[in-house]
């Protein structure tokens, strides 16, 4: 059984995600928004108080711009890899 994400760990990833947004467009990128959603899904507690202030509407969101590197995408990948090592 997969171990649920703890609130403190989700909060740490959200802080790192905030710091990763190096351009204004980052906040609207589906890489950034996707990690917020994944953290909500994986966390054992309700963390919408942490994620909701950072969320944008679907109309405002855009696909990955292909920035190299894409800091939010890199963090999302790091998060997914961390789940795989916890199995």
Q: Please tell me the predicted confidence (pLDDT) of residue 87.
A: 59
Query: What is this structure's pTM?
Result: 0.88
For the chain, the first-to-last Cα distance in angstroms comes to 8
pLDDT at 84 (0 to 100) = 83
Q: From the first residue on, what is the mean pLDDT of each consecutive set of 10 residues in the chain (87 residues)? A: 84 95 91 95 96 95 86 92 79
Residue 28 CA to residue 54 CA, distance in Å, equals 9
Q: Which residues pair with 43 in a beta bridge?
A: 5
Rounded Cα–Cα distance for residues 87 and 84 (Å) = 6
54 Cβ contact list (under 8 Å, min separation 6): 14, 17, 18, 27, 32, 36
Contact 34, 12 (CB under 8 A): no
């Amino acid at each position: 059984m997969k171990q649920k994400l703890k609130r403190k760990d989700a909060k740490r990833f959200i802080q790192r995600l905030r710091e990763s947004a190096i351009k204004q467009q980052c906040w609207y990128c589906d890489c950034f928004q996707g990690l917020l959603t994944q953290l909500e899904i994986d966390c054992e507690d309700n963390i919408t108080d942490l994620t909701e202030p950072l969320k944008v509407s679907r109309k405002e969101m855009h696909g990955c711009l292909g920035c190299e590197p894409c800091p939010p995408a890199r963090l999302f990948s790091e998060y997914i890899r961390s789940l795989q090592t916890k199995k």
